[in-house]
């Protein structure tokens, strides 16, 4: 991780204060003064600030059940940010792994571990996301085949990865996708002439949502390692 981030994760300093300390020559990595805030340091390097050894706080990982009418953003906008429901210290250190639209409900993952979230969201990882989709019209017979083949969405040049859709009610389906394109689920159903009327994310990789709306909990070690 970057030296400035390492210092923030080990002290109460803000990013700006950490950078000022680095530029002032107060930080050493393995006894060498480092004045570049972007220098990469490993968790087990010996990093000191004005002679004090720094030990980073462990990374944090949470699931939250996002209510409708909330924003996946650190700040309020047209709707309140879902961070309002997260009564935790240093919640601004956290970021959201795979945003949902304001009207979408369900599973949101939050962490301060950039490597972990990068691994979940990078397309090559093919991490499965499961959505329960309420539809205007019943699922047509062709939809499963079209989704399995991959669809060209409006304005895009590469087709979607193969996706699996199964009916779960007269106007409801369970959809599994392995990408996270902009408004992907709504655009996929629009591409086959249907319309999403409500959308709920149930699962990301091996992590299943199991807290009530507006609630959150820390992830278990098994969930963190198995995603």
Residue 196: CB minimum distance to ligand URA, A: 7
Q: What's the CA gap between 197 and 9, in Å, rounded?
A: 42
Options 61-69, 153-161, 165-173, 179-187: segment touching ligand URA (CB under 6 A): 179-187
Q: Is 64 in the site for ligand URA (CB under 6 A)?
A: no
Q: Is 101 designated active site?
A: yes
Q: Is 17 in the site for ligand URA (CB under 6 A)?
A: no
Catalytic residue among 76, 87, 101, 113: 101
Cβ 192 vs Cβ 34: under 8 Å:
no
Rg (CA), the chain: 21
Options 48-56, 60-68, 82-90, 184-192: segment touching ligand URA (CB under 6 A): 184-192
Distances (CA, A) of 56 to 12, 18, 90, 97, 102: 11, 14, 14, 22, 34
- Residues between 74 and 93 with contacts to ligand URA, criterion CB under 6 A: none
Q: What are residue 133's DSSP bridge partners?
A: 173, 199
Q: By rule CB under 6 A, what string of x and - marks binding of each residue 191-210 to ligand URA?
A: --------x-----------
User: Total number of residues binding ligand URA (CB under 6 A)?
Assistant: 8
Q: Is 18 in the site for ligand URA (CB under 6 A)?
A: no
Distances (CA, A) of 36 to 27, 29, 130, 135, 216: 10, 11, 42, 53, 37
Q: What are residue 139's DSSP bridge partners?
A: none
Q: Which residues bind ligand URA (CB under 6 A)?
A: 100-101, 104, 183-186, 199
Instruction: Provide the annotated active-site residues.
Output: 101
């Amino acid at each position: 991780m970057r030296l400035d981030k390492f210092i923030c994760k080990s002290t109460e300093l803000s990013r700006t204060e950490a950078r000022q300390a680095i530029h002032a020559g107060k930080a050493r990595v393995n006894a060498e003064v480092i004045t570049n805030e972007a220098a990469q340091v490993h968790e087990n390097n010996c990093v000191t600030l004005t002679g004090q050894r720094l030990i980073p706080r462990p990374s944090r990982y949470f699931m939250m059940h996002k209510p409708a009418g909330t924003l996946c953003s650190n700040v309020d906008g047209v709707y309140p940010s879902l961070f309002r429901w997260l009564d935790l210290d240093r919640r601004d250190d956290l970021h959201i792994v795979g945003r949902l639209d304001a009207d979408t409900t369900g599973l949101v993952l939050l962490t301060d571990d950039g490597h972990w979230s990068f691994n979940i969201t990078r397309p090559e990882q093919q991490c499965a996301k499961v959505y329960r989709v309420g539809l205007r019209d019943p699922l047509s017979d062709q939809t499963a085949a079209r989704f399995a083949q991959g669809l060209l969405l409006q304005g895009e040049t590469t087709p979607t990865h193969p996706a699996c859709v199964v009916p779960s009610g007269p106007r409801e389906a369970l959809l599994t996708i392995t990408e996270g394109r902009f408004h992907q689920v709504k655009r996929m159903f629009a591409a086959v002439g249907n319309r999403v009327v409500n959308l709920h994310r149930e699962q990301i990789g091996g992590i299943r949502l199991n807290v009530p709306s507006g609630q959150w909990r820390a992830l278990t070690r098994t969930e963190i390692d198995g995603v």
